[in-house]
Structure 1
Amino acid sequence: MKSRLDIPMLKLSITVFCVVVLICATAIAGSYYFMYLGKTEFGKARNNLQSKRSAYEELIQKNNLFVEYAKKFNQLKSKGMVGNENRLSWIEALQHANSSLKLPQINYNISPQKLIPPEMIDPAIIEVSVTRTAMELQLEMLHEGDLFHLLEVLKQKSGGYFILDECTMNQTRRFKEEEIDITKANIRSNCKLSWIQVSLQPPIVGVTP
């Protein structure tokens, strides 16, 4: 008995097979496409996260820098370096020191305020003017310790910041050790100081370099 080839059934089988292959191919292609989209979105999300992390780290660095400079600024302010100079406070500090030392003589001379040239200042500092005011002290003292005591009182009570540029001391007269008179001036001293002031503004008009 011979079997006959069922042409319609064969065509249907081939058609179904082709449809299944097409569906599978489409599914595989779709899977790759969505996988590609997923990788792309993941890459974008990762880059976005990295960007935000970098921005956050930069913000932290700026904040730390601000805290550091704020601390330095407060240190300068506590020393009396920031703002306008207070000459009256300097003079009152000298008088306060002399009230306890009872120096035979104390004279002072304060020069006009001068602007420190910008090239002598850190270029990273902007919108700031730094000035220097020279003071000369002429003292007659009983002994060397009076000078150190006066400078310490000036540092603590003046409300300003100064640099000791130079100091000289000389005996006012020759004598033997047993002839020292603690009631009279035995040493003469000449000292030069520089009072430093910082203003948070462009150079002051009228103040010469």
Structure 2
Amino acid sequence: MTLNQVLRVLRWQIAFAVVLVALGAAALYAADKACADAEARLADAERIQRSASARLLTAQTQETEVREAIDVYGRLNEAGLVGPEQRLLWVETLDMTRKRLGIENIRYEILPQRPLTTEQARQLSWMESRMRISMELPHGQALLDLMAALMATPTAVVQPRQCELERQARTTDRLRATCELRWLTLQRLEPAS
């Protein structure tokens, strides 16, 4: 049998084999494209998952910070630091401490309250009232004890700014003191309409 005769007999088998090879190549190409598409979708899904994980972590961190801020706010509110000033309580504390320490003569002036910052983005703002005190003291420790008592006032953060001391006369232990204090409170800001 010659080659032509063999090809005639096998022509349908060869054609079928060529079709099968073509179908296999097409299937391989489709599988490769599907694999590349799946890898791209996987990469997108991983990117989305990383982004979501980062947002979740940020939200959890912010939730913790908000919970801590709420706790701090609650403690400050319970202490009376949030809200209107309680000047009457401050003056009563000053008077009781004056009597306890034996300070006979004391004069004070509380200046109008003012905000410490002009930032309106927050719902709470630190407010400051300055107090000027002039007094005659039996000794220097009385001034320290008075400042400690005022700084322990729960309804404000009290910060001594400056004090000037002078002896009244060379023959006496009595002192004259002039001090300036800051009384800090938190005030809720009304939302802008």
TM-score, normalising length: structure 1: 0.74
In the alignment, which of 132, 137, 140 is matched to residue 136 of structure 2?
A: 140
The change in CA–CA distance for 1:127 and 1:158 in structure 2 (over 3 A counts) is: closer
Residue 67 of structure 2 corresponds to residue 94 of structure 1: no
**1:126 Cα shift?**
3.1
* Secondary structure of the structure 2 residue equivalent to 1:126: coil
CA distance in 2, matches of 1:144, 1:162: 20
CA distance in 1, matches of 2:19, 2:69: 74
CA distance in 1, matches of 2:117, 2:148: 29
Q: What code does the residue aligned with 2:93 have? A: A
**1:39 Cα shift?**
1.1
The question of whether the paired residues in 2 share the 8 Å contact of 1:140 and 1:186 is answered with yes
- The residue number in structure 1 matching 2:178 is 190
Query: How many residue pairs end up in the alignment?
Result: 190
Q: What code does the residue aligned with 2:130 have? A: A
Alignment deviations for residues 60-106 of structure 1 (CA, whole Å, 9 cap, x no partner) = 34335435655665676577543211011111211221232122222
Which sits farther off after the overlay, 47-56 or 4-13?
A: 4-13
The change in CA–CA distance for 1:24 and 1:163 in structure 2 (over 3 A counts) is: same
Sequence identity (%): 21
The question of whether the paired residues in 2 share the 8 Å contact of 1:134 and 1:195 is answered with yes
CA distance in 1, matches of 2:121, 2:38: 50
The change in CA–CA distance for 1:7 and 1:149 in structure 2 (over 3 A counts) is: closer
The question of whether the paired residues in 2 share the 8 Å contact of 1:135 and 1:195 is answered with yes
Alignment gaps of 5+ in structure 1: 204-209
Q: What code does the residue aligned with 2:167 have? A: Q
In the alignment, which of 132, 150, 154 is matched to residue 154 of structure 1?
A: 150
* Secondary structure of the structure 1 residue equivalent to 2:152: helix
Q: What code does the residue aligned with 2:12 have? A: L
Alignment deviations for residues 161-181 of structure 1 (CA, whole Å, 9 cap, x no partner) = 122122111222221xxxx5x
The change in CA–CA distance for 1:78 and 1:168 in structure 2 (over 3 A counts) is: farther
CA distance in 2, matches of 1:65, 1:124: 21
CA distance in 2, matches of 1:74, 1:167: 33
Residue correspondence of structure 1 range 1-209 to structure 2 within 5 A: 5=5, 8-66=8-66, 69-70=69-70, 73=73, 81-116=81-116, 118=118, 126-157=122-153, 159-175=155-171, 186-202=174-190
- The residue number in structure 2 matching 1:206 is none
**1:145 Cα shift?**
0.4
Which sits farther off after the overlay, 65-74 or 132-141?
A: 65-74
Alignment gaps of 5+ in structure 2: none
